[in-house]
Structure 1
Amino acid sequence: PERRGGLRGPGLREADPRDKGHSLREGGDLLSLRRRPAPSSPDACPGIKDLLRPTMSYVKCHSCGGSVEVWSDEDEGECLDCGAKWQKPDGGNSCLEYCEYADKCREIVASRKH
């Protein structure tokens, strides 16, 4: 088959657009439309990654314009310049609020913090 760049790269076989889970776009690029399966256990849950390996980000302080260090597993941060407290606008909502595996995830997180 003819190669025209796009999402198909060298060494990749042509996918049949009639295969379930694929769609052929204008220009011949093939996109995957498959959904990820729902997690079947807390170990497979994508949300637990932020709890086990928190990531850090910075937001602008509402008081002085400085930097507030915020971790993905915390609901608030403190400005590095003036010490003002900053709360996450979403109230810290996470999958632990609604997931059927929330209790098991809390146990996993607690066991790995010790």
Structure 2
Amino acid sequence: MLDHCPGAANLRTPMLSIKKCPQCGGEVEIFSNDISVKCSTCGFVVYNDIESCVQWCRNAKECVGEEMYNRIMARKNAKAQK
């Protein structure tokens, strides 16, 4: 049996990716467990499009930890209210 769900692997062991800032076109480094980061060139807030099992799995809080769970769910709820 697995220790943890493989669907949450990028949240427990963050992966770095480079995104393009939609404001200035500069490169922004964002980890897979970041909700958002500020562009170091212009200060624009770039959001990470986290779509994961955390949003629907009943065991998510225990799997990824309460802090990460709350951050992801707060982001999901903020998007739903828009």
Shorter-normalised TM-score: what interval?
0.5 to 0.7
Unaligned runs of 5+ in 2: 69-82
What CA RMSD, in Å, does the superposition of the two structures yield over aligned residues?
2.4
Q: Is the 8 A contact 1:70 1:77 kept in 2?
A: yes
User: What's 2:72 paired with?
Assistant: none
Identity level (%): 35
Q: In proportion to residue count, which structure has more helix?
A: 2
Unaligned runs of 5+ in 1: 1-39
Deviation of the 1:108 alpha carbon: 8.3
User: What's 1:107 paired with?
Assistant: 65
Q: Is the 8 A contact 1:69 1:78 kept in 2?
A: no
Q: Is the 8 A contact 1:60 1:68 kept in 2?
A: yes
Describe the shift of the 1:52–1:78 C-alpha distance in structure 2 as closer, same or farther (beyond 3 A). same
Deviation of the 1:44 alpha carbon: 3.9
Structure 1 length-normalised TM: 0.49
Runs of 4+ in 1 over 6 A off after TM superposition: none
Q: Which has the larger radius of gyration?
A: 1
Deviation of the 1:46 alpha carbon: 0.9
Amino acid in structure 2 at the alignment position of 1:74: D
